[in-house]
Amino acid sequence: MHPRVRHITISAPPLCHRVKTSFFVDAYARMPYIQSLDLRVFYSIQWIEADILELLRGLSDLKKVIFPEFYLTSTIITTLSRMKHIRVIKSEHTPKQRPGEATDVTVDSFAPVLRQGAFPVLRDLDITARLGDFDQFINADFAPVNITSLYISTYAKHKPEELHRLLLTLSKHCRLLSRLRIKLLQVPKHFSLVPANQITFDTLRPLLSFLNLTAFEIMHKYPVNITLEEVEELASRWPSLEMLSLNEEPLVMHDFTLDLRALIPFARHCPKLRRLGLFMDGTTAKLEPRQTQELKPLAALSVLSVGTSKVHDPGTVAAFLSYICPPECKLDINLTWTSHSCDKLSNNVLSEVQARRANWKRVEDFLPLFIQLWRGERERSRALQREVENLRTGNAPSIDKPQASVNVIEVNTEASDSSVPRRQTNRRKAIAFKKGNSCIIA
């Protein structure tokens, strides 16, 4: 440890170590100019909060902190708000960074004390709190309204109205927000749908009033109640969209409002879209083959996340996706619920998830082949179009070369039924372009 250290990862002393303050005092005394701190602790914040506060007060140059998931208490946030250089506050749950105890941030209200000049340069905030508490936090005086990235996780039970109210607050105060992720991680006790608790398009409608938002993610136990027509409206009013994760992995998996046609509006209206997640019934419904061939691909798409969506016929689904997905696009078929500090999922749910994942794995295996075949078709079609255009251009009148032979042919198509009047005979003119042994009739 020395004064030139700027970035450090610290594993706190074991819980059995009675005096922990000296450990952190040594850290900031020997490394006073640390700018990035990654703190990894395997026990509850209540055993070490005072020591962490001592550490933060000694690191006046700190710009970025990464804490375990349930470590950003009201007191910790209050202290961070008074640090002049803090730009990034993150909470993580990884194998190397255990979450702590959920009750440390779910029992008490999230109510930091902010004063004038709080969070002068904060741009990225990742926190676990109740939606109502965070709504009050953003509405308070001196709140960090200039953030550009916000990630909220909550394990408490919430109503769609609370989410709607928070989105309205954020759209009003946080005008610079470009990335927003909200994860409602409460696992249902009974895996049956409660329509009154579903998120709807009207719940999410405030998103359309954000001026700079390019990425949005929502995660919830129930499927989002949104129609194909509403998806069309969402996509058409959000052309700058780059990432959308519309709750593609609900735990209640048997109520579908969308099928694969939901991908089409994004292909039509969102040219910058790089990642898309939707919960869909894996069928193309009434889409005609001709309509499929006319689909516009999502040229920028690199990841299509299907979550707990269902597949009926992997081959048909792969064929359809080959028209929508560019060659570099990858299918994401993983479940992320198990990576959070939520209740253990039942065996029935996990079995259903695995069965659906197996079918999507077959789609994943088929997709590169179909993309290659479809790409070959498009290349042949473009080559034929170029050939036709070259023939047209090569046979156009020019003062530099003799005019090619152009024949005007009058074609009569007469009805075989003598009862049809002669005046209904169709007459069309076709132009035949001759070039060598080739003849194109247009």
Q: Residues 213-256: pLDDT tens digits?
A: 999 999 999 999 999 999 999 999 999 999 999 999 999 998 99
Count of alpha carbons within 13 Å of 60, Cβ hemisphere only?
Answer: 1
How many other C-beta atoms can be found within 10 angstroms of the C-beta atom of residue 268? 14
Segment 418-424 mean pLDDT: 42
Q: Residue 422: pLDDT above 70? A: no
Q: Which SS3 state, helix, strand or coil, does residue 130 take?
A: coil
CA-CA distances (angstroms) from residue 414 to 261, 391, 424, 432, 442?
A: 42, 31, 8, 21, 20
Q: Does 7 share its domain with 109?
A: yes
Residue 8 included in any domain: yes
Handedness of CA 76, 155, 224, 161 (dihedral sign): negative
Residue 147 lies in a domain: no
408 pLDDT band, cuts 50/70/90, is: very low
Residue 192 lies in a domain: no
Confidence of residue 423 (pLDDT cuts 50, 70, 90): very low
Q: Are residues 221 and 116 located together in one domain of the fold?
A: no
Judged against a pLDDT cut of 90, whether residue 161 lies above it is answered with yes
Asked whether residue 318 is domain-assigned, the answer is yes
Neighbours of 352 (CB within 10 A): 17
**Could you tell me if residue 64 is inside a domain?**
yes
Tell which of 394, 413, 429 closes a domain: 394
Greater confidence (434 vs 37) lies with 37
Examine residue 245 and state whether it is found in any structural domain, yes or no.
yes
Confidence of residue 426 (pLDDT cuts 50, 70, 90): very low
Please state, as a whole number, how many other Cβ atoms lie within 10 Å of the Cβ of residue 370. Answer: 19
Q: What is the pLDDT of residues 356-365, one digit of tens each?
A: 999 999 999 9
User: Structural domain tally of the chain?
Assistant: 2
DSSP code of residue 200: B
* Phi, psi for residue 229 in degrees, rounded to 5: -65, -35
End-to-end CA distance of the chain: 80
How far is C-alpha 297 from the geometric centre of its chain's CA atoms?
A: 18
Q: What is the pTM of this model?
A: 0.82
CA 57 to chain centre: 37
89 - beta bridge partners?
65, 125
Residue at which a domain ends, from 91, 123, 155: 123
Residue 278 sits in the same domain as residue 390? yes
108 and 256 co-located in one domain: no
Looking at the fold, whether 108 and 223 belong to one and the same domain comes out as no
C-beta separation of 182 from 368 below 8 A:
no
* Structure-block tokens of residue 185: 């991680």
Q: Is the pLDDT of residue 382 over 80?
A: no
C-alpha 68/C-alpha 45 separation (Å) is 9
Locus of tokens 């609900």: 250
Residues 252 and 388 in one domain: yes
CA separation, residue 352 to residues 186, 305, 309 (Å):
19, 17, 11
Say if CB 69 and CB 89 are below 8 A apart: no
Residues 271 and 390 in one domain: yes
377 and 251 in a common domain? yes
Mean pLDDT across the chain: 84
Domain boundary among 84, 107, 123: 123
Residues 390 and 244 placed together within one structural domain of the fold: yes
Residues 6+ apart with CB under 8 A from 12: 20, 23, 39, 40, 41, 48, 51
The distance from CA 263 to its chain's CA centroid, rounded to whole angstroms, is 13
Residues 244 and 380 in one domain: yes
Over 60: is that where the pLDDT of 177 sits? yes
- Cβ-contact 60, 33 below 8 angstroms: no
Helix (H) and strand (E) counts for the chain? 12, 17
Helix residue ranges per DSSP H, 247-396: 263-269, 289-293, 314-324, 347-394
How many angstroms separate the CA atoms of 144 and 127, rounded?
13
Distant-in-sequence, close-in-space partners of 366: CB < 8 Å, separation ≥ 6: 314, 315, 318, 319
Q: In which domain, by residue range, is 372 found? A: 216-227+237-394
Could you tell me if 119 and 254 lie in one domain? no
Q: Which is higher by pLDDT, 66 or 430?
A: 66
Residue 333 has pLDDT above 70, yes or no: yes
- Give the closest residue to 350 by CA, choosing from 335, 365, 362: 335
Following DSSP, what letter does each residue of 387-427 receive, concatenated?
HHHHHHHHTS--SSSPPPPEEEEEEEE--S-TTS-GGG-EE
Beta partners for residue 36, in sequence order:
7, 64
Query: Given the structure tokens 């450090």, which residue do they identify?
Result: 8
**pLDDT over 90 percentage in the chain:** 56
Residue 85 CA to residue 74 CA, distance in Å, equals 19
- My answer on whether 241 and 378 are in the same domain is yes
For residues 195 and 170, the answer to whether their CB atoms sit within 8 Å is no
Q: Is residue 404 part of a domain?
A: no
Domain membership of residue 424 (yes or no) is no
Mean pLDDT for 203-214 is 95
